[in-house]
Each structure stands twice: as structure tokens, then as C-alpha cells.
Amino acid sequence: MASFEPRLSFPLAADSLGASLATEPSSNPLIRPAAPQDVTQLTHLLATSFYADCGWKRLIFPVLKLGIQEDLKQRLTYTKPNYACLAAYSAAEGVVAGTVEISQRQSWPWQGLPSSYGYLSNLAVDRTFRRQGIAKALLAHCDRLAQHWSVADLYLHVMEDNLQARRLYQFAGFRLCRVEESPATWFGLQARRMLLHKAIAL
């Protein structure tokens, strides 16, 4: 049977989120580990947050969505230790309003990173719920998970042209570690990726 590690090992009660969101008057979603039954909503949230569904891109959108869905299913079904996909669930609307994933990774010597570190990915908040502090609350939960796992360093990538997310991360205590280039950035086809770091007090 598929195990769902985050649910079993999740150390943070939903109440602790209530406290952190109490300062955000317009929202009070519960942050909890995502469950396999959230896959459809999470897929929609990630696809619409990261890909355009207009013009010619409308043609490939269903394929992208299917890819996201299959990857998510895998991650939620066969989870590793120290991996969590969090969902900010709005009980009033009955929808998943935001999500983020965090995992503990080991580095290769040439990566120039600590031997063990936490990595955040797929942070997204549904458009109708933005600017209500949900991403901030999801990031705060990740900090606490990292502390619980005794992970002293958190990293994430953000595209250089994603100014909203950069502002959020700056606000949340992440600082630039390095800027990464690729052939696509040399030819101006893609923005550069920024690797951000945050030290977690253990």
C-alpha cells in the first residue's frame, strides 16, 4: 500500500498555522500535508500558476498539465523521508488555495552546497487568494519543518524576472547565493535562475 510519509511525520498542528495566519485578516486557510485526493486541484493550481493557457500555448497546456499530474501522483504516493508537499486549504471555499514542496537533499561536491540541505519548490498560490499572506505562511511552515528535520540551510530557485516571488523571498529572509546561466539565457530565450539561501536557526 502506498505510504504517505508527510501525513505521518508532519510535526505541525493545523492550529499552529491558525496562529501564524491570525494576523492576516482576509484569510485563514489550514496548512496541512497534501493528500492524494488533492492531486486534481494541485495540478490545476500549479499548471495555471506556472504556464500560460492562452494563444498557441493553449495547445500544449493539456500535455503540460498531464505531466504535472503524473509527477505529483508519484510524489504524493511514493514519498521519501523528509519530503513534504503542503497544501493551504481554504475550508470556506473548499479549495486548495496554495502549495509548496520541501525536501531534504544531499549535495554533490561540485555543487558548492552543504552536504545536506532543504530545497523548496513549486510554491504557488491561486490567483484569487494572492496577497493574503498564504505564501508567507507556507514558507514559515517550511522553516519549521526544516528545524524539525535539523536542516540548517534552505535553498530555492527563482527566475530573475519573477519580481513578485523575489520580493516575497526577500521578505521571508532568503538571500542571493548565485545567479545561474544556461545556453537558453545566453541567447535571451529564458531569464536567468537565481539560487537563494536562508539559514535556519536550529
Ligand X SMILES: CC(C)(COP(=O)(O)OP(=O)(O)OC[C@H]1O[C@@H](n2cnc3c(N)ncnc32)[C@H](O)[C@@H]1OP(=O)(O)O)[C@@H](O)C(=O)NCCC(=O)NCCS
CA 31 to chain centre: 12
Binding mask 64-103 for ligand X (x = CB under 6 A): ----------------------------------------
Q: Which of 158, 194, 198, 200 binds ligand X (CB under 6 A)?
A: 158
Q: Which of 72, 123, 142, 200 binds ligand X (CB under 6 A)?
A: 123
Cα 146 to Cα 104: distance, rounded to the nearest angstrom: 8
> Judged by CB, which is closer to ligand X: 35, or 165?
165
Judging by beta carbons within 10 Å of its beta carbon (0-12, 13-18, 19+), is residue 96 exposed, middle or buried?
buried
Of 12, 64, 61, 10, the residue nearest 35 (C-alpha): 10
195 scored as a contact of ligand X (CB under 6 A): no
194 scored as a contact of ligand X (CB under 6 A): no
> Judged by CB, which is closer to ligand X: 4, or 198?
198
113 scored as a contact of ligand X (CB under 6 A): no
> Judged by CB, which is closer to ligand X: 99, or 104?
99
Question: Is 169 annotated in the active site?
Answer: yes
Query: What phi, psi does 198 have (nearest 5°)?
Result: -135, 130
Query: What phi, psi does 88 have (nearest 5°)?
Result: -95, 110
Count of beta carbons in the 10 Å neighbourhood of residue 138: 26
Q: Which residues are known to be catalytic?
A: 169
Which residues of the shown chain bind ligand X in the complex (CB under 6 A)?
A: 49-50, 123-125, 130-136, 158, 162, 164-165, 167-168, 171
